[in-house]
Amino acid sequence: MMRSSTSGVRRYNGVAKLLHWSIAVLLILQLGIGELMPDIHKDTRPDGLIAWHIMVGVLIVLLVAARVAWRIVRPPTGIESDRGWTRRLASAIHVVLYLLMIIVPILGWANASSRDWVVGLGPLHLPGLLPAGSRFGHELGDIHGDLAIVLAGLIGLHVLAGLYHHFLRRDDTLLRIM
């Protein structure tokens, strides 16, 4: 929920900001790891960057789940100056961002399960989604990579929209989450 500060700029509360920026940093890290890690083949083991990619993916899913729960408990209010198609477009992009932040890691989890890899974070080990050797799970890995590119593009669009609001429209949209 937003509150007015003495300057009149409405802001998200600390929990919403912490979750937003934690997820943002982890997504940037994750996309970078995804680009740098080796190609995955039949005998690839989940070591090095692949292990990091799995752990960061689990952390992203946990934080996104917390963010969704927080939005349900404390939904943000709309911006009075944004009505009509721009508000609907922003809402649609947010929905797709959230869906991709959930779907992309689940597809990666299914792919890892089909390779008989442990998916987890420290002592937290998640159950396998598909049986080891699942051809379908291997194919989901390709979809995982393709949708990650779509997610990266939407993140870029999200950033550009914030900059547009801040520098061209000169409204408080970007400042609310800072």
- Place domain 2-177 in its CATH homologous superfamily: Transmembrane di-heme cytochromes, Chain C (1.20.950.20)
pLDDT for 74 equals: 87
pTM, to two decimals: 0.88
> Which of 172-178's residues contact partners 24+ apart within 8 Å by CB, and which partners?
172/9, 172/10, 172/79, 173/79, 173/82, 175/9, 175/11, 176/2, 176/9, 176/10, 176/11, 176/12, 177/11, 177/12, 177/16, 177/17, 177/20, 177/21, 178/11, 178/17
pLDDT for 78 equals: 53
pLDDT for 157 equals: 95
pLDDT for 169 equals: 87
Ranges of each domain in the chain = 2-177
What is the chain's pLDDT, residue by residue, as a tens digit (178 residues)?
Answer: 444 343 444 567 889 999 999 999 999 999 999 999 999 988 899 999 999 999 999 999 999 999 999 989 987 665 545 668 888 888 899 999 999 999 999 999 999 999 999 999 989 999 999 999 999 999 999 999 999 999 999 999 999 999 998 999 888 878 888 8
